[in-house]
Structure 1
Amino acid sequence: MINQRTAVVVEDDSDVGELISGLLDQAGFVVTVVPTGAEALAVIREQMPDLVTLDLSLPDIDGVEVCRQVRLITDCYVIVVSARTSEIDRLIGLEVGADDYLVKPFSMRELQARVAALFRRPRTTTELTPEPRRAVAATAATNGHARSEPGQLGCDDLSLNTGAREVRVQGEEVDLTRTEFDLLAHLVSHPGVVVPREDLLRAVWATDFVPESTHVVDVHLANLRRKLRAEVDGSMEHEWIRTIRGVGFRFDPCCT
């Protein structure tokens, strides 16, 4: 079938794997079930699926490392399905690139709802809403720096092409991870607006789960800032992403 969605279920418990596979099959996915991390990575490289469900306790490679490697291969949605219940496990799962985290035992209805929610909310960089586009255009009109071309965001010294998923600082391309790009794109599409950490978690990780600690956001933004500074020559000291203590972050587009 043309454009039929595909999924890889990474689960060493055959009963659980069969249940998840059956649910995704009913939802219209072509499903492959694999019991180990090594097999999962091989199949994901070959199939480039739309969705991966990932158990963290695998017999060969820890699921966290599998998730980290999946993020080097594909931008597909990843839902961790694990018996690990601690907040630190959830944070680590989200930090290495999972889009959602579901604790075993779980109901099939809940998994179905979470899968549906992910596919209702595309990545923030795939399509900008009219409101952020108007905000970018308004900034351009007031300071002459921000760009309002379709798919193009930022200012004279920092630009994002959301279609090509490309970031440039002073014309030099910056190599960002998927999460770093999505965080930057979300902030840049709301210039001058303070975005709470909780909102960044919901928008970039496409999940309604907000942990007690939002440290995962700070970790990714620290890496993002470091990469942006590495491309700036010595004459520039502008900090595009400002930390608003106790609240969140703000993108300042005016490059001075």
Structure 2
Amino acid sequence: MSGQPERVAVVIEDDADIRNLLEAILAQAGFSCYTAADGVEGIAAVREYKPILTTLDISLPGIDGFEVARRIRAFSMSYIIMLSARDEEIDTLMGLDAGADDYLTKPFRPRELRARIEAMLRRYHQSPPTIEVSAARPAGGTAQASAPAPVVTEVEPEDDDSGWLTHNGLRINADMWLCDLDGAPLELTRSEFDLLLAIMQGQRRVISKDSLALELRGEYGSSGYVSDSDRRAVEVHMANLRRKLNDPVSKPRYIETVRGVGYRLAEPD
């Protein structure tokens, strides 16, 4: 995206000590920060202040964080980092499925939160990245982000010189942060947008889950460590993206899964 968005954040947290800590961390990172102690107040704050970042506790009075995330997603593309003392994988998956972009377990280290925030900001301040793609491997093989792979630079749209990438009626524009399907606007989360952009840039070349996980962390092109939970997060975001595209795995029109390897753009109609 061109230009840098204003650093506005909303903290939705009922614990006053943690709320103050988050506000201090975000202020140090250069954010104007607004806080809310419950879900209803938090939703109103997101609607009013239009933050690029929202931190969201799961265990809130009244409506819980999962429902808050779903309601925020109905009108906002704010990058949501969900915070919770729950460390079970199912809680992480439920948070991502509700619309969160990232999930951090309490107690968290301020340095780790700052690192995730800065990675998120790097994704929006830079031009569309080059995407590391993996050559196809037999089913059941493991694709590692550090494995040698060709690099594909941004693909120019075949029939459109205005910055749009197109495929089977699906269009995406990284500079304008817009996506539409058969002429109708498609509402995507930040992470879903980045994943779809990566797939469309890669075209028919396979992009590994590891490379996509690093892309979501703002570390594309690196050989950083990728955990099983990172790969699972990519799978959850991809499943949510497919639902919005009405794109079944068994007969994909947009995103094709290459078992044991990763994802690539489906064949054109």
TM-score if structure 2 supplies the norm length?
0.74
Distance 1:7 1:213, change over 3 A: closer
CA distance in 2, matches of 1:20, 1:60: 21
Alignment of 1:183 with 2:202, yes or no, is no
Deviations 1:143-190 (A, max 9, x none): xxx346242112464433342513233xx4253433554433221111
Counterpart of 2:178 in structure 1 is 165
In structure 1, stretches of 5+ residues that fail to align are: 141-145, 229-236
2:54 counterpart SS class: strand
8 Å Cα contact 1:161-1:167 kept in structure 2 = no
Alignment of 1:101-116 (within 5 A): 101-116=103-118
8 Å Cα contact 2:12-2:54 kept in structure 1 = yes
Distance 1:4 1:153, change over 3 A: closer
Alignment of 1:81-120 (within 5 A): 81-120=83-122
2:119 counterpart SS class: helix
Shift of residue 248 of structure 1? Answer: 1.9
Counterpart of 1:136 in structure 2 is 155
Alignment of 1:41-52 (within 5 A): 41-52=43-54
Shift of residue 102 of structure 1? Answer: 1.2
8 Å Cα contact 1:136-1:148 kept in structure 2 = no
Aligned residue among 12, 15, 33 for 1:13: 15
Distance 1:157 1:14, change over 3 A: closer
Counterpart of 2:163 in structure 1 is 151
In structure 2, stretches of 5+ residues that fail to align are: 132-150, 220-225
8 Å Cα contact 1:9-1:31 kept in structure 2 = yes
Distance 1:113 1:181, change over 3 A: closer
Shift of residue 80 of structure 1? Answer: 1.2
CA distance in 1, matches of 2:244, 2:30: 37
CA distance in 2, matches of 1:150, 1:5: 28
Counterpart of 1:219 in structure 2 is 239
Distance 1:209 1:49, change over 3 A: farther
8 Å Cα contact 2:168-2:253 kept in structure 1 = no
Shift of residue 209 of structure 1? Answer: 6.3
Deviations 1:202-235 (A, max 9, x none): 435769665164541452243144269xxxxxxx
Shift of residue 31 of structure 1? Answer: 1.5
Q: Which has the higher helix share?
A: 1
**Aligned-partner residue type, residue 129 of structure 2:** T
Shift of residue 10 of structure 1? Answer: 0.8
Higher relative contact order (CA 8 A, sep 6+): 2
**Aligned-partner residue type, residue 167 of structure 1:** D
Distance 1:58 1:244, change over 3 A: same
Shift of residue 84 of structure 1? Answer: 0.9
Identical residues among aligned pairs (%)? 35
Deviations 1:67-104 (A, max 9, x none): 11112222122111110101111112122222221111
CA distance in 1, matches of 2:253, 2:246: 11
Counterpart of 2:206 in structure 1 is 194
2:47 counterpart SS class: helix
**Aligned-partner residue type, residue 149 of structure 1:** D
1:121 counterpart SS class: helix
1:54 counterpart SS class: strand
How many residue pairs align between the two structures?
236
Bigger Cα Rg:
1
Counterpart of 2:137 in structure 1 is none
**Aligned-partner residue type, residue 246 of structure 2:** R
